[in-house]
Amino acid sequence: MRKDAFFAYFRGNLLLMIKVENIHKSFGDLQVLKGIDLEVDKGEIVSIVGPSGAGKTTLLMIMGTLEKADAGNIYIDNNELSRLNERRLSDFRNKNIGFVFQFHQLLPEFTALENVMIPALIGRANHQEAEKRAMELLEMMRLKDRVEHKPAELSGGEKQRVAVARALINNPAVVFADEPSGSLDTDNKEELHRLFFELRDKLNQTFVIVTHDEHLASITDRTIHMIDGEIIK
């Protein structure tokens, strides 16, 4: 194998976590995504920025399998998602993709610990193992003393850190975050941003983050700029 071919193979199979090929999406007559191509490496923290209506969240939802593209292909960790039927796609999403949204979306009747455990239990994990993993993650989030608290008893920053722990419970290949610090005050924003980098350093976790926060975008490994459904080179 030629040297250049070897390095292409190495990148494609060992380093590449996400590959997006020619993604198109329209809602009625409105063309939201216009042939998006994107690659994200394992352990990379990538931000996606752009004005409202640029297609950022739609792209994130398609990569996260929560929306379907009209055309194009998505590969995550060498899995071509278009080849998966609905049941297998749902199973893949639960086991391999974590989500963090602007508003935590914790279930109010459950404790922090129970909220974190839910995706693992949906994936039919052993209850004792799921609880142990959830406790480890909450301790990593500096929430060891808050595990039995329900969302109403937590601050905004604490709720969002519980949401991050929930996103990580199944050891996902990638975490997609949509404006994760958008509802937080300055101190909690900074703490959450530091947490993303700590998780990358400790777990080699891959993050793709849609954000309007200029500071967060400036410290990520790479920033993707979108306007009118296209990536601006």
Each residue of 187-205: pLDDT tens digit? 888 888 888 888 888 888 9
Q: Over the stretch 68-114, which tens digit does the pLDDT of each residue have?
A: 999 999 999 988 998 889 889 988 998 899 998 877 789 999 999 99
Q: CA nearest 134: which of 100, 111, 158, 109?
A: 111
Q: Over the stretch 48-72, which tens digit does the pLDDT of each residue have?
A: 999 998 999 999 999 999 999 999 9
Instruction: Determine the CATH number of domain 42-68+81-231.
Output: 3.40.50.300
d(CA 159, CA 172): 20
Indicate the pTM of the whole model.
0.85
d(CA 14, CA 27): 36
On whether the CB atoms of residues 28 and 185 are closer than 8 A, the answer is no
Q: H or E element: which one contains 39?
A: strand 30-41
How many Å is the Cα radius of gyration of the chain? 18
